[in-house]
Amino acid sequence: MDPQLIGELLAGLMFVGVIGFLMLGFPVAFTLAGTSILFALVGYGLGAFDLSNMSALAGRYTGYMTNEVLVAVPLFIFMGVMLERSNIAEQLLTTMGKLFGNMRGGLGISVVVVGALLAASTGVVGATVVTMGLISLPAMMRAGYDPKLACGTICASGTLGQIIPPSTVLIFMGDMIAGMHAQAQMSLGNFAPSAVSVGDLFAGAFIPGLLLVVVYIGYILVKAVIDPESCPATPVPEDERKTLGRDIVFALFPPLLLIVAVLGSILGGVATPTEASSVGAVGATVLALLRGRLTWGIIQHTVRSTAKITSMIFVILFGASVFSVVFRQLGGDDLVHEFLTNIPGGALGAMIAVMLTMFILGFILDTFEIIFIVLPITAPTLLLLGVDPIWLGVMIGVNLQTSFLTPPFGFALFYLRGVAPANVTTGMIYKGAIPFVLLQILAIAVLFVFPELVTWLPHLLY
């Protein structure tokens, strides 16, 4: 039997095998590496794989460790955890609740706005959903909100961390797509391609992120009109209204100023994401200090959480590197390229197929697992077919955000279930998420029809 055919068959089986083992609950990083090594040995025995190819891993790992762009990941995580632990998020929600309290749906709008602000500071979906669930859900239930609407609003707002910069997902995708885009352009004969950076992806995600915030708020306003009992007003007492101006200055402006400084410096080209992330980490610490919330216990918790989350992400990345090397050397790249180029509809048809695959995988795999596994084997072909690299990255981000929300396996729903009180049933959480999933699908359709919503700002800035 032809070794090339054997290799492609093994590559396909390896992909299915990895998904199967992950569904059984095995640790992600070790599943990726272990399954890949197993198939590499089988391929070696059948003459379809050369074990010397594994030496490429050393260069990859060294590249990750010396990559300055990826230094931004732990710093942005530190910034988010510090803001979360110093109760700045709780103060934000309380202040926004007072600001919009006198209108129907005001508390829901406050949750969306605070979710967007937290997304722009944490970049980690799980942390945002849990934080919002602990702070917002009890407040919304006390105010008489429909539990379904409350749960849907919290889950949707929490997943904004997937797409609103400085999302850690966008940092990794930007770094990966930059290299793939350069290789694709060189293979097409363009030896001086325009560079793609993490800053480009941040700029591309900015308008889609705002679009989602506007769509969520629009839905809550419509709900307030057609079903006012589901989101009643929460009038602010007169004595609290007197201090509203001061609360806005002290609770809203400092974190907002920090976020604007971090994102503004990146989008304005003043600082790289790595430089801006260090400003964000120091700024969050200074904010906690000024609020009198900076204790030794909070510093310890923040550092440990940052180390834990960062280690989890990079261990998955190292395991995914083994998968990528083995899959490519077995001929999996050729298999994927042939499949995608033969799909009817050209680049658009291939893009839809990849998006559907990632959406389905989003039910069983975490975002980082999907981009580390699927992006390296599909993005090169899509880029060769002429798909804009910035549009590709942002569309994947919005798509994975949608799968995070979709019942019955959406990760955001599980995060909220873990902190929701017993009287809020799983069925309520699922039903509440469905309208927001439909809104997400609408947003994806709009970005498909009008890709300029993604590409306009990066081209204007850079």
29-68 confidence digits (pLDDT tens): 888 899 999 999 999 888 888 888 888 888 888 888 888 8
Determine what percent of the chain is predicted with pLDDT higher than 70: 97
For residue 308, pLDDT beyond 80: yes
Q: Which residue has the higher pLDDT, 200 or 93?
A: 200
End-to-end CA distance of the chain: 51
Average pLDDT over residues 394-420: 84
**pLDDT band (50, 70, 90) for residue 115:** confident
- What mean pLDDT comes out for the span 287-316? 87
**Dist CA 81 CA 428 (whole Å):** 29
Tell me which of 375 and 368 has the higher pLDDT: 375
- Residue pair 290/250 in contact by the 8 Å Cβ criterion: no
319 — phi, psi (to 5°)?
-65, -40
Of the candidates 456, 23, 439, the residue with the CA atom closest to the CA atom of residue 215: 439
Non-local CB neighbours of 75 within 8 Å, separated by 6+ positions: 274, 277, 278, 280, 281
What pTM value is reported for the model?
0.86
Q: How far is CA 44 from CA 32, 158, 329, in A?
A: 18, 45, 11
As a whole number of angstroms, the distance between CA 436 and CA 215 comes to 9
Name the band, by pLDDT with cuts 50, 70 and 90, for residue 1.
low
In whole angstroms, what is the distance from residue 316 CA to residue 284 CA?
Answer: 27
pLDDT interval class at 218 (50, 70, 90): very high
Q: What is the Cα–Cα distance from 69 to 71, expressed in whole angstroms? A: 5
pLDDT value of position 462: 66
Type of residue at 79: M
pLDDT cut 90: percent of the chain above it: 19
CA separation for the pair 388, 393 (Å, rounded): 9
Place 181 in a pLDDT band, splitting at 50, 70 and 90: confident
Phi, psi for residue 84 in degrees, rounded to 5: -70, -45
How far apart are alpha carbons 233 and 235 in whole angstroms? 6
Burial of residue 24, with CB atoms counted within 10 A of its CB: 0-12 exposed, 13-18 middle, 19 or more buried: exposed
- What the block records as the tokens of 141 is 């239930």
